[in-house]
Amino acid sequence: MLGAGLALALCALQLCPAALGGSRSPVLVERSRSRRVIELVEFAWENCGDETDPVVVKSLTVAPDPITIPGTLTLSGTVSCGETISSPLKAVLTVEKQLGSVWIQLPCIDQLGSCTYDDVCTLLDDAIPPGTSCPEPLLTYGIPCHCPFQEGSYSLPESNIELPEVELPSWLTNGNYRVQAVISSDGNQLACMKVTFSLQS
């Protein structure tokens, strides 16, 4: 489940599947085709579920600060999965930007922003076609990248991941952001994670 757990953090930033080694996601297409060097500053995370959630991110270390895209991300983490998790896995992302002292929820535009994804398992299959090997470093450490995810604890030692150049919408401007990702199945919450960061480009 670490593949999905760490993907929570990356997908909360909506930088995967590219960050996982899959094809570039269409949600990252900038219509003006202008490219920017992106920096994520002061990245922080926390679990936002309760003790009954079967999936908990126990640790997650992300470096450097700032995270530069394109660039090299150094990642390590541990995820505990208290039960076997299978399709469908619904993901609800809430993306907010700080305007002065107020946090404003951003809408879902072209599958970017505060969006609901009906099945993360399908997204993983689209990014990494079934029958192909999981990308590194998941393959080396035996971490699954497809549903179902078996009960257990999964750990990724410190590993380097190359983040490709991406294109972001012009409305995703510099500022402070917070993102909440809630994963559920059949109406039951499985995991909740929040990340905060400042975007500079």
Domains of the chain: 2-200 (2.70.220.10)
Residue 50, pLDDT score? 85
Residue 173, pLDDT score? 87
Please count the residues of the chain: 201
Residue 165, pLDDT score? 86
Q: For strands 102-105 and 55-63, give the pairing.
A: unpaired
Q: State both tokens at 25.
A: 């996601």
Question: Do residues 47 and 193 lie in contact, with contact meaning Cβ atoms separated by under 8 Å?
Answer: yes
Residue spans of the chain under pLDDT 50:
1-34
Residue 111, pLDDT score? 84
